[in-house]
Copies of this chain bind each other. A is one copy, B any other.
């Protein structure tokens, strides 16, 4: 009996390993496309990616995977809940059942229309022409409605979309978190002190020097040597082809230093991928449980570490040596400037305090688009009114308004809330880290980031997708609930500290 079941698990693992290889291969092709590919390679690359995706999907949704799961389940039932094999079978079952609910034709249509929508959006944003993008957006929303129909939901048709990025999360739960955030954030923004940050923009920050500085920082963050690389790209991202081949990308603007935090952000994602246990390689467990948890770690390294005073106590000297423009700026003034709050138009440029307001606006709009309470044609008008209401800013054109983000163009509805959830979760975990590492500030101030990253690897990253997002949060914090208070307290303290 045991031999037979072990053989089912063995066969299941072999099939999942092939599917993982196909997905990782697609990842290599995607990285190459965005980092190195000559532009004329676009068309052939789209075919190659489509083929890899289709074969991986066909193989995963195969009936035989279900039969192997049926045979493997009774055997692993006696293992501890979080044992690798039991987790593998449980998570694969969930993924498999979800994947099989969506007809191949609908999936192919979403991929096709997403690609067309992306293409139309690039041009629409360039010319700030929402009307030219509208038909593509309509098509994407219509397909998302059909997609939602493939699933059951209790609270909101938005929940199946959210579930793609934040498994097990209900729309109502996110609403509760955001309802607690919004008034407090608005209040914080309104009372935020003005801070001089003029020296952070317009000075001469040569990209080569920025890259060298970023790489110096990354080398201390806890990566093994020869297991990562950093390349320039247009839109920064992180991807990995195993836990030992992590690709960070960033961009350098010659007149500001944003690349530091952008790179630490991607390196945070990278440390997550790097910390996944070896034993979870070539399985569906080799990733983060949700985008929110993944984002919690990019934000941890970007903000909780990268904007902290202890971090700069160690790194500000080297930064001044690298960029003479900062020679006469004192550490305190620098730390205040990089922690200020300032409402703006663009989400990706937003500071920590205003960022989540950009997200809450999108989260509300996405639900309204889906249930039809906001007509798509009215989107720019509604967007602009809400930006005024949420952040007090006037949107000059759609390129800097409703067209600024790529997500909806490719059909990515339900993705945005994970960014704000990541902010919130990062502080819940940070409280636990602080208790576990009472000397954390001193360690960071002495240039030791590895104690922190080792702790996060051992207690979080290494788990991969074995547990659900809520189970993962509960294991770390003792409660599965997403709690906004630590995040709000952190922002309150921050803004108090930047006032002179």
- A residues apposed to B, CB below 8 Å: 17-18, 21-22, 24-26, 28-29, 31-32, 36-41, 43-45, 47-48, 50-52, 55, 224, 226-229, 231, 241-242, 244-246, 281-282
Asked if A22 contacts B51 (CB within 8 A), the reply is yes
In the complex the two chains form, is B244's CB within 8 Å of A38's CB?
yes
Complex contacts, A31 vs chain B, CB 8 Å: 32
A347 to B371, CA, bound (A): 71
Smallest beta-carbon distance A321→chain B, Å? 25
Complex-state Cα separation, A245 to B36, whole angstroms: 10
Contacts of A246 in B (CB 8 A): 38
Q: How far is the CA of A40 from the CA of B247 in the complex (A)?
A: 12
Q: Are B18 and A51 in contact (CB under 8 A)?
A: yes
- CB contacts (< 8 Å) of A48 on chain B: these are 21, 24-25, 28, 241
Q: Is A227's CB under 8 angstroms from B25's CB?
A: no
Which residues on B sit within 8 Å (CB–CB) of A244? 38, 40-41, 43-44
Q: Assuming A25-B28, A31-B32, A47-B282, what are 18 further A-B pairs, CB within 8 angstroms?
A: A17-B47, A24-B48, A25-B29, A25-B51, A28-B28, A28-B48, A32-B32, A36-B36, A36-B231, A38-B226, A38-B227, A38-B228, A38-B245, A38-B246, A40-B226, A40-B245, A44-B245, A44-B281
Residues of B within 8 Å of A40, CB to CB, are 224, 226-227, 244-245
Distance between Cα atoms of A429 and B425 in the complex (Å) = 68
- Which residues of chain B are within 8 angstroms of A38 by Cβ–Cβ distance? 226-229, 244-246
Chain B residue with the shortest CB-CB distance to A244: B40
Partner of A21, one of B47, B229, B245: B47
The answer for the CA separation of A229 and B33 in the assembled complex, in Å, is 13
Q: Tell me which residues across on chain B come within 8 A of A281, comparing CB atoms.
A: 44
| A304 CA / B328 CA spacing, docked (Å) | 61
Q: Is the pair B227, A44 in contact by a Cβ cutoff of 8 Å?
A: no
CB distance from A301 to the nearest CB of B (A): 19
Q: How far is the CB of A332 from chain B (nearest CB, A)?
A: 38
Closest B residue by C-beta to A39 = B226
Which of A18, A40, A244 lies at the interface centre, i.e. has the most chain B CB atoms within 10 A of its CB?
A40
* Cβ–Cβ contact B226 & A44, under 8 A: no
A45 with B229: CB separation less than 8 A: no
